Structure 1
């Protein structure tokens, strides 16, 4: 089984990082948290102009391409319902060009960014339907940029022949890739800070204790990576183990990213708690994504059932 990226996929990843590095996503995330969506939507338009969103919406897209894109989105903390709009929606609503959010209780009990979504999909019991929204009430989130809403409404239009299980698994894979990207940003930021911050006349990164902390994060991230790419291969091959594989990837990526978040905060010290420092944007995002599209207990149970 081959997990390595092709030359085209590596070029795709590099182009995404170049685009997003110049997009000032931390400012867009802060604005999104305040309800100002325009800077974040500008990032979306830049991605659309590059053809990324259209590419991800194609029916014959490889799951590995989704992983590459969402790892970059996680690394740069791109805000908004990207999973819902460019991963789930194309599988259930081919040809849709509007911003979409999704309800899939109990794992996805609240609709992400329902205030800007033009379409609300409800996934329930293997069925999918567009909702006619009657009321959307904001719900507090540990990540202010993940604006959650309790949506009340009725099924407006059932989607015939919807492969809800496949759409759900694709969403889980995309979250895992986001977590991997966010964890990598936290690691890179912690390493850079450890090289710059001096204590007792030398960089703190030179101390063995700091080296061990960072090495543990590297190990966990690199162990999660092949599980994510293996799950992508399983999806593309319609393997019987897809559910188990994507859940294992989500658990591993969540644990690795959470360790990266804790370690980055420990390396930065008190400055990491300040609202002005970008670190907090990734800390809260990781904490929220760990529970998105199913928490650890749900996915560990799916792995256990798959093994059984």
Structure 2
């Protein structure tokens, strides 16, 4: 299996990283999250100008036509800089669902074009997520009813706000009534669409968790290099070095697991769900360890609003249960590896899908 990214993917990631470093500094995020909406149309517009919202949109609709592998890099950048996950929900997860709808469906082409130019915000309601992110700001809501896919406007639903430990999260409980007029897919087609959507949602969160883990590690390394105890930097103590080295190891272990899952999704591997669940768990473990060791080296001040660590730590905690919690993904892995005739061992791990 070749995990090498091409020059276009790496250059795009570098450009997005440089852009977000300037436009999404922690001070800017704090100011933004204290507003009622918690969102900045200006920032979203600038992100669209960079091409991120067009990444997965087909070229026929004004997009770049890239797939899951490219998003495995982009979601890490979104996590590293604490960008709200609803951006990835629209530009990546919902975009994939829209592309799976019949081309004859009225509105489909226009929706994809608006995703590409950043003027359309989409919220996704899947049973695995009882609370929907950014539903109050969404132009469209894609909702599941059994195997059915329904498209609704914000005026067609009732919303109930739900607080989150993560200041960037704007969650709503959505109440709505399914109708034939809003149904755009059902049966086997609808079931397949929701399965792909769930896998893309979980992969999106996994990438963000990995980016968050790296950001928390970087913040912790910077802190222990500056903070002094007993006349020398805190980072000079072996116990602190071991803690942060453990985090670095978890991050490096999780990266190929994430990339393997992205490759499986993009290439239609029948084991994609298994690989996605493995990635979600591996990246979640890295983020949790980064948060725990980060707060240990920072001390209690790491929880305070003024310290950047708390922004990314709380986000990691909140995202850990999005698109399936640990129990859900462990159960999916158990179903796969304990099934009769399961293909296990290194001989099957990197076998190309037939």
TM-score category of the 2 structures, normalised to the smaller one? over 0.9
2:142 paired residue number? 121
Q: Which shifted more, 16-25 or 172-181?
A: 16-25
Aligned mates of 1:86, 1:134 — CA distance in 2: 22
The aligned runs of 1:26-175 (5 Å cut-off) are 26-37=26-37, 40-58=40-58, 60-94=65-99, 95=109, 96=111, 97=114, 98-105=120-127, 107-131=128-152, 133-155=156-178, 157-160=182-185, 161-162=189-190, 163-175=193-205
Q: Determine if contact 2:129/2:324 at 8 Å carries over to the other structure.
A: yes
1:11-60 alpha-carbon deviations (Å, 9 max, x no partner)? 11111110000013424433443344476332221110011111233384
Q: Determine if contact 1:33/1:147 at 8 Å carries over to the other structure.
A: no
Q: Which runs of 5+ in 2 are unaligned?
A: 60-64, 100-108, 115-119, 340-354
2:219 paired residue number? 189
Aligned mates of 2:145, 2:255 — CA distance in 1: 30
Aligned mates of 1:78, 1:48 — CA distance in 2: 13
Aligned mates of 1:195, 1:186 — CA distance in 2: 14
Residue among 231, 249, 265 paired with 1:235: 265
State the TM-score, normalizing by the size of structure 1.
Answer: 0.94
Aligned mates of 2:197, 2:58 — CA distance in 1: 14
Q: Which runs of 5+ in 1 are unaligned?
A: none
SS in 2 for 1:101: strand
Whether 2:298 is the aligned partner of 1:275: answer no
Q: Determine if contact 1:131/1:154 at 8 Å carries over to the other structure.
A: no
Q: Determine if contact 1:40/1:80 at 8 Å carries over to the other structure.
A: no
SS in 1 for 2:150: strand
Q: Determine if contact 2:257/2:275 at 8 Å carries over to the other structure.
A: yes
Q: Determine if contact 2:78/2:208 at 8 Å carries over to the other structure.
A: yes
SS in 2 for 1:21: helix
Q: Which shifted more, 61-70 or 123-132?
A: 123-132
1:93-150 alpha-carbon deviations (Å, 9 max, x no partner)? 2442210111111x11011111111111112433211135331110121212111111
Structure 2 CA distance for partners of 1:40 and 1:264, relative to 1, 3 Å: farther
SS in 2 for 1:56: coil
Structure 2 CA distance for partners of 1:128 and 1:35, relative to 1, 3 Å: farther
2:289 paired residue number? 259
Structure 2 CA distance for partners of 1:198 and 1:35, relative to 1, 3 Å: same
Aligned mates of 1:25, 1:58 — CA distance in 2: 31
Q: Determine if contact 1:131/1:153 at 8 Å carries over to the other structure.
A: no
Aligned mates of 1:176, 1:190 — CA distance in 2: 21
Q: CA deviation at 1:64?
A: 1.2
SS in 2 for 1:283: helix
2:103 paired residue number? none
SS in 1 for 2:177: strand
**How many residues are matched?**
307
Aligned mates of 2:280, 2:13 — CA distance in 1: 21
Whether 2:18 is the aligned partner of 1:18: answer yes
Q: Determine if contact 1:243/1:306 at 8 Å carries over to the other structure.
A: no
Q: CA deviation at 1:7?
A: 2.3
Larger radius of gyration, structure 1 or 2? 2
1:291 paired residue number? 321
Aligned mates of 1:7, 1:45 — CA distance in 2: 26
